[in-house]
Amino acid sequence: MKNKQPWIDWITATLRESAWAPFSVFSFYVIGLALHLFRMLPFIDIPTHFLGGVTITYFYRAAIRNSQKFLGDIPIPIQVLLAFTATGTTTVLWEFYENFIDHFFGTHMVRGLEDTIMDMAMGLSGALVLSLLYRRR
């Protein structure tokens, strides 16, 4: 049986280092839903999705960087590409979640196809900005 300690160390280090970022945006999202902020101030949906893209990309970059301790070196361009594509997948899954909740619970998070496309574009824009500007020291 293989030693699972490196996996535990990887998950722990990644969560300690970077889970605060997407958790912060998700917390704002939950508070916004509870207080109906997205209905009263619909324009805050755009920066929320942008920041979501930034923070989830930050989380993925930390996870990829921390995984090198047991996977070996991963070239920076591959790290950036992997984090960017993982964020793209996350934005699609998030939009599936919003549509699912709207359909089964009668909420109104999605305001049409244009809203969905804009949300995904903002998430990817946030991922692109972080990918271009983020440099780990």
- Considering only the C-alpha atoms of the chain, give the largest distance between any 2 of them, rounded to a whole number of Å: 55
Render pLDDT for 86-135 as a digit per residue (tens, 0 to 9): 999 999 999 999 999 889 988 888 888 999 999 999 999 999 999 999 87
Judge whether 72 lies within some domain.
yes
What pTM was computed for the model? Answer: 0.90
Q: Is the pLDDT of residue 1 over 50?
A: no
Judge whether 5 lies within some domain.
no
The 10 Å Cβ neighbour count of residue 103 is: 10
Q: Is the pLDDT of residue 11 over 70?
A: yes
Render pLDDT for 25-83 as a digit per residue (tens, 0 to 9): 999 999 998 998 988 998 999 999 999 999 999 999 999 999 998 889 999 999 999 99
Judge whether 9 lies within some domain.
no
**1, 65, 101, 130 from 73: Cα distances, Å:** 25, 9, 40, 21
Judge whether 103 lies within some domain.
yes
Judge whether 2 lies within some domain.
no
Work out how many domains the chain is built from and give that number.
Answer: 1
pLDDT for the residue numbered 89: 97
Range of the domain at 51: 18-133
